[in-house]
Amino acid sequence: MMQERGLLTVTGRGREREYRLSDEVRTAMGRGRATSPAGRSVAPLADHRPAEVQSADHAPPSRTPRWHDLTLHLAEQPGGVSNALLRNASGLGPQGAWRILRQLTLAGRLRRECSAPRQIRYHRT
């Protein structure tokens, strides 16, 4: 209901969903930029979104999760990408990183090498 009235903007889906006050509400409150609980100014959410989303604010959400591009980029590196490397680069948890790697492997975009749990690496196909 608050979103329908233009008071909130919602981005993301599922666990990635984020709510924030709309620009109009923040302007009416005298806050041009979002502030953290400590009162420090922080960059608006739009600054943290991928460039293609920033350029088309009213475009439907991308069907490709945002971590897939990062994972594929890391997989192009000489050593490939591991679960731990993906977690460090993205801030995902172990299960979230595993899901991304599994989705890309099942889709045929990554290939898995090695079977020892701590030595598993994924390379781009």
Chain segment 39-84, per-residue pLDDT in tens: 545 554 444 444 554 444 444 444 556 788 889 999 999 899 999 9
**CATH level 2 (architecture), domain 66-124:** Orthogonal Bundle (1.10)
35 has a pLDDT exceeding 60: no
Please state, rounded to an integer, the average pLDDT across all residues of the chain.
77
Would you state the pLDDT for residue 110? 94
Contact yes or no for 91/76 (Cβ under 8 A) = no
> Which value, in Å, is the radius of gyration of the alpha carbons in the chain?
18
For residues 85 and 92, the answer to whether their CB atoms sit within 8 Å is no
Q: What integer pLDDT is reported at residue 2 of this predicted model?
A: 79
Q: What is the pLDDT of residue 72?
A: 92
Mean pLDDT along residues 103-120 = 90
Pair 53, 62: CB distance under 8 Å: yes
pLDDT at 31 over 90: no
d(CA 19, CA 50): 17
What are the residue ranges of CATH 1.10.10.10 in the chain? 66-124
pTM for this model (two decimals)? 0.49
Nearest one of 90, 99, 46 to 70, comparing CA atoms = 90
